[in-house]
A = this chain, B = another copy of it.
Amino acid sequence: MKIGILGTGMVGGTIGSKLVALDHEVMMGSRTAGNERAAAWAKAAGARASHGAFVDAAAHGELVFNCTAGGGAVDAVQAAGTDNLRGKILIDVANPLDFSKGMPPALLFPADDSVGERIQRALPDTKVVKALNTVNHEVMVDPGRVPGDHDLFISGNDAAAKARVTGLLRDWFGWSSIVDLGDITTARGTESYLPLWIRLWGTLGTADFNIKVVR
């Protein structure tokens, strides 16, 4: 499949590399074409990897991942172009972390909005599915790094798109337990979980962890 990745950070690189390894044609997009990190990633990831501006990656992808920082996500998808993303599934992995007050980061908003909703409002004709944002980038593409049962969460307005993404995350990365929280407003829940994730990371001394819902 042709897949676009918006963002050149560790999340985009890890997802992109895994998808290239699975024989997909992945283009990493950045604010400006020729971004050094995107070029370095594409060179390292192999022949099926390429890079360009946000618009190029969005046009390339049959499916697009948003892996930009939460605060810049709406600008990024708008730069990618409404038309380039129309009718497509966009998997939003971003978290609304506010590093402006130092570490640990705060949230950009107090759970009265979410990056997922903001992107959906900016792209009403795109099927935004929030997923993967509650685990470290390495766990995203290899849930077996955390032994035993643990859960991923998914949010989105389009049931068929969520079902498709649920299947892809299983087939591509090995996610066997994905909890559908509901419409895109439920992204407020998973995005607001990040401050707890960060404290658990500090306490456990490893990012190879996740949570399991027990009932």
A residues lining the B interface (CB < 8 Å): 98, 101, 104-112, 146-150, 153, 179-182, 186, 188-190, 192-200, 202-204, 206, 208-215
Is there contact, CB below 8 Å, between B181 and A199?
yes
Interface residues of A: mostly helix, strand, loop or mixed? mixed
Please name all residues of chain B whose beta carbon is closer than 8 Å to the beta carbon of A105 when the two chains form the complex.
Answer: 111
Complexed CA–CA distance, A162 and B63 (Å): 48
Select which of B110, B186, B204 is within 8 A of A107 by beta carbon. B110
- Min CB distance, A195 to chain B, in Å? 4
- Min CB distance, A19 to chain B, in Å? 25
Complexed CA–CA distance, A215 and B207 (Å): 9
Complexed CA–CA distance, A189 and B195 (Å): 5
